[in-house]
A and B are shown apart, each in its own frame.
Chain A
Amino acid sequence: MSDERLDVRKTYKLLINGAFPRSESGRSYEVTSEAGEFLANAAQGSRKDLRDAVVAARGAQAKWWASSAYNRGQVIYRLAEMAESRRAELAEHVALAEGISTKKAERVVGRAIDRMVWYAGWTDKIAQVFGGANPVAGPFFNFSLPTPSGVVGVIASQDSSLEAFVDAVLAPIAAGNTVVAIASERRPTPAVLLGEMTATSDFPAGVLNIVTGFTAELASTLATHEDVDGIDLAGVDTDAADELSAAGAASIKRVFRPRDIDTASSTRRLRAFLETSTVWHTIGQ
C-alpha cells in the first residue's frame, strides 16, 4: 500500500443562475495546461446553456440594479476577500493555464484581486462621476443618472484567463448590469474558480453567469440574442469581432472592442455599458 493519498478531483461546471450545472448537452472537453498535461474535463456549454444563462441574467438584472450601490460594492468587495484567501489556488491554476511561473501567476492574481477592489469602490461613485445636474434654461430641475444597459454578454480574453476576465465581467456588473460570460476556451479553469467564489460572496443568483466551451460555437448566439443589450468582444479575433459586431446591429447592441487607448485607469469599460437617463421635473409652487 502506498502512503500517498489518491486526490479527489473536481468537476468543472457551468455557472448559471447561481447553480453549477453540467452542460445540458452532456458534453465536456479536455482542458490541458499550456505544457499539455491534462487539467480537467470542462463542461462544453451549448447554445441552450447560453440562452438559459441569458434568461437568468435578465431575471436578476432589475433586482441587482435596484439594490443599493453601497450593497453592490460590498458584494464585489466580498469577492475580493474570497479570492484573497484562495490566492494560492488561483495562482496555481493561472500558472498551469497560462504556462507562466508560479511567481508570475501570483502577481497576476494580486492584480486581479486589486482590480476587484477597484470595482468594489466604483459602484457608489458612478452616479456622481458620470451623472449630474444640468443647468437648463427654464423652471426645471434636470439631472442625468447613469443606468445600466441591462444584460451584457462577455466573450472573455482567450489569453488572460483571470486578470482580463475580472475586468471584463466586473466593469459591467459594477455598473448595475448582469453578465453572461464565455470563458477562455483553452484556459477556462481560473474563471470557473472565480465563479465558484461568487457563490460565497453574496452574489445574487444570475448576476454573473459563466459558460465554458467552444467560443466559435457560442459567440454568435450571444451576439444575436435579442435580450442581450451589450457585448464585449475581447475574446475573438478581428474578423470574428467584425462579424459579431455586425450581427449585434440587428438589435442595436452596445459593442465593446478593445482599443489601444485602454489603460488600467480608463473608465471606457465602465462607460461601455452605461446609459444616461435624464429626468426633467418642473419647479413650481
Chain B
Amino acid sequence: MTDNTVANSNLGSLEYDPAPESASIARIKTSYGLFIDGSFTEPSANEQFVTLNPATEQVLATVAQASTSDVDRAVAAARHAYETVWSKTTGAERSKYLFRIARLIQERARELAVVETLDNGKPIRESRDIDIPLAAAHFFYYAGWADKLDHAGFGVNPQPIGVAGQIIPWNFPLLMAAWKLAPALAAGNTCVLKPAETTPLSALLLAEILQQAELPPGVVNILTGDGATGAALVDHPGVDKIAFTGSTDVGRLIQSRVAASQKRLTLELGGKGANIVFEDAPIDEMIEGVIDGIFFNQGHVCCAGSRLLVQESIADEVLRRLVRRVEQLRVGDPMDKNTDVGAINSAAQLARITELTAIGEQEGATRYSSSCELPEKGYWFAPTIFADVSQSHRIARDEIFGPVLSVLTFRTPDEAVAKANNTNYGLACGVWSEKGSRTLWVAQRLRAGVIWANTYNRFDPTSPFGGVRESGFGREGGRHGLEAYLNV
C-alpha cells in the first residue's frame, strides 16, 4: 500500500544541520524547596526526588516531596491570604497583578521555554511558540476579567469560592499552571498548585515570577510531589475547590473522594479524539492537520486526534500520504529547533505506549512506524500509524497518550458520527471537509467539548476547553472558565 519511491524521495531524506537552542539560559538550580506563603521552604519530612531530562535521562534538579504536613502549611497559608488579603483586594488590583505576571512570563519566555523542553522532552519549537506564549496570553486574558466579573453572566456580584487545590499534568506543565491559576486568581480565590511529578521545574520558575510580581504571600502556593501529595490536597478539609487535569481513572477517584464534602470540582480528563476526514477535504492541509493532531507534543495531548476516521473512497490515498509524512518527521533532540517529535516524558509512559502498540499488532492491525533513528539514551518512540483498525481494538478505545494514530474508515456522514461518538470519552474531535453545511451538521452531532473544523489542536485563552461524558466537566478558558472558580 505504501509507495516507497515517494517515501524515499529526496524530500523525505533532506538533511538538516543541527540547530540546537542553548541550555545555558535555563539557570536551573540543583535543588528546589516548596513555595509556601511567598517563599521557598524546606519540606517538613526532608524527602526529595529528582527530575530528569527525558531526552538524556540526566538529572536536572532535586525537588521536594511535599508531605501531608506541608499540604497543611500550604492550605493554611492560602486560607490566611484569602481571608486577610486577597478577598479584600479589589478586582482592579487583582487584575494588575495578573497583567504583571503575564508580562514577566513574556520577559522570561525563552528561559521558560528551555526549562520546559529540558524537563518535559517536548521540542523547543513547541515550548517556544506554543506553551509559553499561550501561558502568558492566558494570564493576560484573565487579568482583564478580574474587575469585570459582574459582566460574566453569572449574576451580579459573584463571589469567589475560597481556597482552590489544583493538580496538573506533565504534558503542558506551565500552560496547565496558567490555565488553573489565572482564572482562579481573577475570580478572587487563593491557590495551592501541585505540578506533575516528572515536570515540576517550570512551575517553580513561575513561583519566582510570582515573587517578582510581588503577589501577596500565600495567594499562590506551589507544592511539588507525587500522587500522595495530590491525594492529601484532594482530601484536605481546608480546600474549597479541586481542579484536576489528568487521567479519567484518577478523575473518578477524585470525584468519589470529594463526593462527601462541600468541595466544588472540575475535571479535565482523558480523550480519544476522532479526526473525521471527508473525501472533499482540502488534502494538503488535512494531512498536515492530521499529523499535527496526533504527533504534536509526542501525542501527549488529552485532546489528540488519535482516531482517524477517513472516508473509504480516499482511505488508500490518505494512508499513503500519512505514512510518507511520518517518515519525514524529524524525531530527536528536543533542543534542536528543527525537531518535530521529541522525547516521551517518562519511562512509565514509554512502557504504556509500547504495551498498547504491541496489543495493536496482536489484535491484527497493520503497523507503520517511522524508520527514524532513535537516540540511545532517553525515552523515545517512533511515530506510528496503525491501519486496518476496527472499533473493538484496544488501540481504538484506550487513550494511548503517545505518538500513535489508529486509522479507521467510514462511508456515510451518519456512520462517521456514530463511530466518532462510540467512546465513553468526549473531549475533542476534528472534521475535515470543504462543505461547510456538512461540517456543521457533523459538529452538531458530535458529543465533544471541542470541535476543530479544517484544523486541529488549536488553543486560545478566550476559547473554552473541556470535555463531556467521561472526559470530565467544567471549562477552562474564556468566560466559561470563570464559572469553575465562582460561587455561582
Contact = CB atoms under 8 A, between A and B. Distances in A.
Interface string B230-262: 000000000000000000100111011101100
Contacts of B450: 277-278, 280
Interface string B455-467: 1001010111110
A138 B256 contact: no
B448 A277 contact: yes
A281 B458 contact: no
Given A252-B255, A265-B155, A276-B466, A134 B453 contact: no
Interface in A239-285: 242-243, 245-252, 254-255, 261, 265-268, 271, 275-282
A130 interface: yes
Contact of B439 (A242, A252, A271, A281): A281
B458 to A, nearest CB: 5
A249 B265 CA distance: 12
Interface string A140-155: 1010100101100000
Nearest to B459: A136
A129 interface: yes
Interface in A147-190: 147, 149-150
A255 B255 CA distance: 10
B354 interface: no
Contacts of A250: 252, 256
Contacts of B260: 242-243, 245-246
A252 B487 contact: no
B332 interface: no
Contact of A254 (B137, B471, B473, B475): B473
Interface of B: 137, 153-155, 248, 251-253, 255-257, 259-260, 267, 269, 424, 436, 439-440, 443, 446-455, 458, 460, 462-466, 468-473, 475, 478-480, 483, 487-488
A280 B451 contact: yes
Contact of B464 (A134, A147, A245, A255): A134
Given A137-B462, A249-B256, 9 more contacts: A132-B479, A135-B462, A136-B462, A249-B255, A252-B255, A261-B487, A268-B488, A279-B440, A280-B451
14 contacts: A129-B153, A130-B153, A132-B479, A137-B462, A142-B460, A144-B463, A249-B255, A252-B251, A252-B470, A252-B473, A267-B155, A276-B464, A280-B452, A281-B436
Given A252-B255, A254-B473, A266-B155, A134 B468 contact: no
Contacts of B469: 229, 251-252
Given A130-B153, A144-B480, A261-B487, A282 B453 contact: yes
Contacts of B460: 134, 136-138, 142
Contacts of A138: 458, 460
Nearest to A251: B470
Contacts of B458: 136, 138, 140, 280
Contacts of A266: 155, 488
A31 to B, nearest CB: 32
Contacts of B449: 275-278
A142 B259 contact: no
Contacts, number: 119
Given A144-B478, A246-B259, A252-B267, A278 B465 contact: yes
Contact of A275 (B439, B462, B468, B483): B468
A4 B255 CA distance: 60
Contact of B472 (A135, A252, A255, A265): A252
10 closest A-B pairs by beta carbon, nearest first, are A249-B255, A246-B259, A242-B260, A245-B259, A136-B460, A249-B256, A281-B453, A246-B256, A282-B454, A134-B462
Contacts of A150: 447
Contacts of B465: 278
Contact of B269 (A140, A242, A252): A252
Contacts of A144: 463-464, 478, 480
A229 B450 CA distance: 18
A136 B252 CA distance: 32
A255 B265 CA distance: 10
B73 to A, nearest CB: 28
A246 B252 CA distance: 9
A140 B153 contact: no
Given A277-B448, A277-B449, A278-B463, A134 B478 contact: yes
A57 to B, nearest CB: 16
Contacts of B488: 261, 266, 268
Nearest to B265: A255
Contacts of A245: 259-260
Contacts of A275: 449, 468, 473
A251 B475 CA distance: 18
Contacts of A136: 458, 460, 462-463
Nearest to A142: B463
Contacts of B463: 134, 136, 142, 144, 278, 280
Nearest to B450: A278
A12 B81 CA distance: 57
A142 B477 CA distance: 13
Contacts of A246: 255-257, 259-260
Nearest to A146: B480
B484 to A, nearest CB: 12
A279 B453 contact: yes
A86 to B, nearest CB: 34
Q: Which of A129, A268, A275 has the most CB of B within 10 A?
A: A275
